[in-house]
Amino acid sequence: MKSYDDKHIKNVALVGSHHSGKTTLAETMLFEAGLIPRRGRVEDKNTVSDFHPIEKERQGSVFATPLHTEWRNYKINIIDTPGLDDFIGEVISSMRVADTALVTVNAQHGVEVGTEIIWDYIQRFHRPTVFVVNQMDHADADFNKAFQSIVDLAGKNAVQIQYPYKTEDGRQAIIDVLKMKMYVFGPEGGKPEKHEIPDSEKEKADALHNELVEKAAENDEELMELYFDKGTLSEDEMKIGIKKGMLNHELFPVFVVSALNNMGTGRLMGFIDNVAPAAADLPAEQAEEGEVVEYDPQAPPSLFVYKTFYEPNVGKVTYFKVKSGKVHTGDKLKNARTGELENLGQLYIVNGKKREPVEELVAGDLGAVIKLKTTETSDTLAPADNPVRFRPIQFPDPRLRKAVKAESKNEEEKLQEALKRIHSQDPTVVMKYDREMKQQLVGTQGELHLQIVDWLLKNEFGIKAEFTKPKISYRETIQRPASASYRHKKQSGGAGQFGEVHLKIEPYYEGMPDPEGFPVRGVEEDELPWGGKLVFVNSIVGGVIDARFLPSIKKGILEVMEAGPMTSSPVRDIRVIVYDGKMHPVDSNDISFKIAGAQAFKKAFMDASPKLLEPIMDVEVKVPEDALGNVMTDLQGRRAIIMGIDSAGKYQKINAKVPLAEMYRYSTSLRSLTQGRGTFTSKFASYEPVPANIQEELIKQHQQEKDDK
């Protein structure tokens, strides 16, 4: 492939709902440009894009796939993305490096759930956007309804460039109001015949053309003056205005195609070439240190990694966008995160699983390299003497968490390594070892996403894994003061053990006054590793317990607090006042007072109205208005406290506090209640008391588990 300058490279991300035809459109674009001799079909499992075995098995995209093509002296890089929101991480990383989002909309259904979710990210990234109404020739296609759904989503800045038409002899046609031509297709699609717009459609086409002229003129003062002077704009002038409108996120062109039957694809590719922005047209990116990096081919080289993929017999493939300068085969660049120097080895441009070696890639282009040592997704590579670091991709938090372990204990280490590699390939798969619960946790975007993780473990790593409901990290505390004493006495020949401790415990809160009725000889305040505090007060009078034994008493108390008396959950927020006790001149030692302190604390704890605390999450749920009632009912059934409801366009945002124990599989329930249109985020808020009936059940359950052991 020949070299292209930064103005002749266009990067588009094909995004849209599941089954809107993205992969078929990508296949047709490659075919139309002559990059492949025949078009594959998703159903036949032979498309360039969906090449991974799991994608062939599911007959749908799971991973974002980079592709490229050439069209009339332009290079078009295409990233075909999945349509299900379980794989939203693939969409986000692709959007990060795309110059234009190509949103496919099924002509039968209009804007669907996946498109609504993706639209939020398009707005966040402020990406120029083209809507493509696909399957225009389907018997159930309804372009007007589909276009109205686009307007409902994007507003009145969505403007028709084309609309479908059927000729008098029954042939499929597209009327283009930018070029003011009608393209008529044969039964096999392909290159169309160009015709004048029929008289019956002239009035409609003229009205849409004038609307497009006005929209184009609105985005440039010079064009507006020309429009006022002439009453119209030329095609080239309109293209300038359309591009500026796209860059301002104030104009969203709408095209129509039949990707399956290759109708309208060439015209769409021509628009991408001639009008859609290139990387050099987009605003320069500000790096983390504040410096602005232009897409300048003459600047020092820098590249941003947007995707990592592991291929059998190849290893790690790193996909990147050149952000400035030019990179060459054999260049050595420094990783801004690790500080390691990476040898780029051989550079490639990619079409699915096929890689074509190239010697050079210029600013704005996409490429790949294999076997980098420490580089991962979101990393920046640049010369050691001219460092730069671009902001990392912000991936969403997991919506589903499960505990995972290998069916065979011998494969636990292998499982850890496999999960690390899966996370490297897909950062939305989050792994964490919960030391408190002694569980390996894995977080995903939903049940389907988890199924893909399971498939990868079985089929690529040969590991059978068990996924179970994670344990909840409860806490224990007290609600009122209580006192207790304990004498530890042990005699078994030779030196014995003796220690007696009297103590009082109280619920601790910030700013509480000194204890009443006790002298304060010393106070130690410990921030506990599991949250909350232990305040240890020395109120010993007359030396009844030697000061050297106080650390042992405290140590015994802390050991009990680490695994509390009720459910073995950590204890928090307690003040302990040690005020009396006894020693033996010979038999008293550290172990005696550690045991006495621990037992006295246990006795006092159980007399102090002990309470179990549970983690509460701040949850924000975004749902369509027609699903609000069902979602609210479901939340209330999960012991949620509704904090407020706010409007967000066609959606409602519910803010609630929900116990973590009730959030298990919530993503699945929400999807069912909203037909996939609802989304949610959650984060830890606080620990709050568990209702009495649930506390009683948890204590019984814990006791049963102890008995079973």
Query: Which of 79, 63, 64 shows the shortest CA–CA distance to 29?
Result: 79
Q: What is the pLDDT of residue 705?
A: 86
Q: Which token pair is 92?
A: 């986000």
In a domain, 296, yes or no: no
Model confidence over 82-115: pLDDT tens digits?
999 899 999 999 999 999 999 999 999 999 888 9
* Helices H / strands E in the chain, number of each: 16, 37
Share of the chain above pLDDT 70, in %: 99
Q: What is the pLDDT of residue 380?
A: 97
Three-class HEC string of 362-387: ECCCEEEEECCCCCCCCCEEECCCCC
Give the amino acid at 517.
G
Q: Which token pair is 705?
A: 């588990």
| 197-208: average pLDDT | 96
Q: What is the pLDDT of residue 707?
A: 84
Instruction: Give dist(CA 215, CA 225) in Å, integer.
Output: 13
- CATH value at residue 406: 3.30.70.870
Q: What is the pLDDT of residue 290?
A: 84
Query: Which of 452, 449, 433, 453 shows the shortest CA–CA distance to 441?
Result: 433
Q: Within this chain, do residues 67 and 192 fall inside the same structural domain, yes or no?
A: yes
Q: Which token pair is 247?
A: 């860059």
Q: Within this chain, do residues 620 and 495 fall inside the same structural domain, yes or no?
A: no
In a domain, 230, yes or no: no
DSSP per residue, 588-601 = --HHHHHHHHHHHH
Order of strands, edge to edge, in the sheet holding 366-370?
A: 341-343, 332-335, 380-382, 302-311, 315-324, 366-370, 347-351, 354-358
Q: Within this chain, do residues 314 and 413 fall inside the same structural domain, yes or no?
A: no
Residue 648's Cβ-side half-sphere holds a number of Cα atoms within 13 Å equal to 18
Q: Within this chain, do residues 78 and 193 fall inside the same structural domain, yes or no?
A: yes
Q: What is the pLDDT of residue 493?
A: 66
Model confidence over 42-68: pLDDT tens digits?
989 999 999 999 999 999 999 999 999
Q: Which token pair is 463?
A: 């590991």
Q: Is residue 600 over pLDDT 90?
A: yes
- CATH value at residue 627: 3.30.70.240
Query: Which of 458, 462, 456, 417 shows the shortest CA–CA distance to 440?
Result: 417
Q: What pLDDT band is residue 187 in, cutting at 50, 70 and 90?
A: confident
In a domain, 238, yes or no: no
Q: Is residue 250 over pLDDT 90?
A: yes
In a domain, 423, yes or no: yes
Model confidence over 482-503: pLDDT tens digits?
999 999 998 776 678 999 999 9
Q: Is residue 706 over pLDDT 90?
A: no
Q: What is the pLDDT of residue 581?
A: 97
In a domain, 290, yes or no: no
CB 581 within 8 A of CB 501: yes
Model confidence over 126-170: pLDDT tens digits?
999 999 999 999 999 999 999 999 999 999 999 999 999 999 898
Query: Which of 643, 589, 597 shows the shortest CA–CA distance to 621?
Result: 643
Q: Within this chain, do residues 424 and 541 fall inside the same structural domain, yes or no?
A: no
Q: Which token pair is 598?
A: 């621990």
Instruction: Give dist(CA 342, CA 189) in Å, integer.
Output: 47
Model confidence over 331-354: pLDDT tens digits?
999 999 999 999 999 999 999 999
Query: CB under 8 Å, gap of 24 or more: what pairs does 566-569 form?
Result: 566/476, 566/610, 566/612, 566/699, 566/702, 567/474, 567/476, 567/612, 567/698, 567/699, 567/702, 568/702, 569/473, 569/474, 569/475, 569/476, 569/612
Q: What is the pLDDT of residue 116?
A: 85
Q: Within this chain, do residues 155 and 18 fall inside the same structural domain, yes or no?
A: yes
Model confidence over 446-459: pLDDT tens digits?
999 999 999 999 99
Q: Is residue 432 over pLDDT 70?
A: yes
Q: What is the pLDDT of residue 6?
A: 72
Residue whose token pair is 């379980």: 86
Domain hosting 338: range is: 301-382
Q: What pLDDT band is residue 211 in, cutting at 50, 70 and 90?
A: very high
Mean model confidence pLDDT for the chain: 94
Q: Within this chain, do residues 76 and 100 fall inside the same structural domain, yes or no?
A: yes
Q: What is the pLDDT of residue 2?
A: 65
Q: What is the pLDDT of residue 87?
A: 95
Q: Within this chain, do residues 581 and 525 fall inside the same structural domain, yes or no?
A: yes
Q: 427, 445, 468 — which closes off a domain? A: 468
Q: Within this chain, do residues 167 and 258 fall inside the same structural domain, yes or no?
A: yes
Q: Within this chain, do residues 412 and 517 fall inside the same structural domain, yes or no?
A: no
Q: What is the pLDDT of residue 1?
A: 59
Q: What pLDDT band is residue 650 in, cutting at 50, 70 and 90?
A: confident
Residues 6+ apart with CB under 8 A from 627: 673, 674, 675, 677, 678
Q: Within this chain, do residues 13 and 110 fall inside the same structural domain, yes or no?
A: yes
Q: What is the DSSP letter of 667?
A: H
Among 305-309, 436-440, 616-620, 639-643, the minimum mean pLDDT is found in 436-440
- CATH value at residue 341: 2.40.30.10
Q: 575, 603, 631 — which closes off a domain? A: 603
In a domain, 223, yes or no: no
CA angle 115, 180, 144 (to 5 degrees): 35
In a domain, 119, yes or no: yes
Number of domains observed in the structure of the chain: 5
Q: What pLDDT band is residue 357 in, cutting at 50, 70 and 90?
A: very high
Model confidence over 315-333: pLDDT tens digits?
999 999 999 999 999 999 9
Q: What is the pLDDT of residue 56?
A: 92
In a domain, 428, yes or no: yes
Query: Which H or E run includes 543?
Result: none
Q: Within this chain, do residues 578 and 619 fall inside the same structural domain, yes or no?
A: no
Q: 603, 638, 657 — which closes off a domain? A: 603
